[in-house]
Amino acid sequence: GGIVMNMDITNTILDFAYQNGVGANEVEKIASTKDGDVFALSLVDANGFPLPVGLPNIVILKEDKLTLVSGSEALDLIERLENE
């Protein structure tokens, strides 16, 4: 499992994602970098199993600013994080 987070942050990130056209119901903090905290978005069913959503969607939280990274850019970011 990931890091347990404050529900307010989770809800803020999910609302932000939804406003940007990303359907997600789960947020997992995957890294903290100099550019901010990195959260992966996912969609899980009622049993907690992930649903296929195609390319990943990432939200970066720096101070109070949220940034959505999606598609191949998100894939590149995840690869960079894994190689750090």
* 63-73 confidence digits (pLDDT tens): 989 999 999 99
Question: Higher pLDDT residue, 68 or 50?
Answer: 68
Q: What pTM was computed for the model? A: 0.86
Q: What does pLDDT average to over the chain?
A: 90
Q: What would the two tokens of residue 58 be?
A: 């990432």
* CA separation, residue 38 to residues 22, 46, 68 (Å): 16, 25, 10
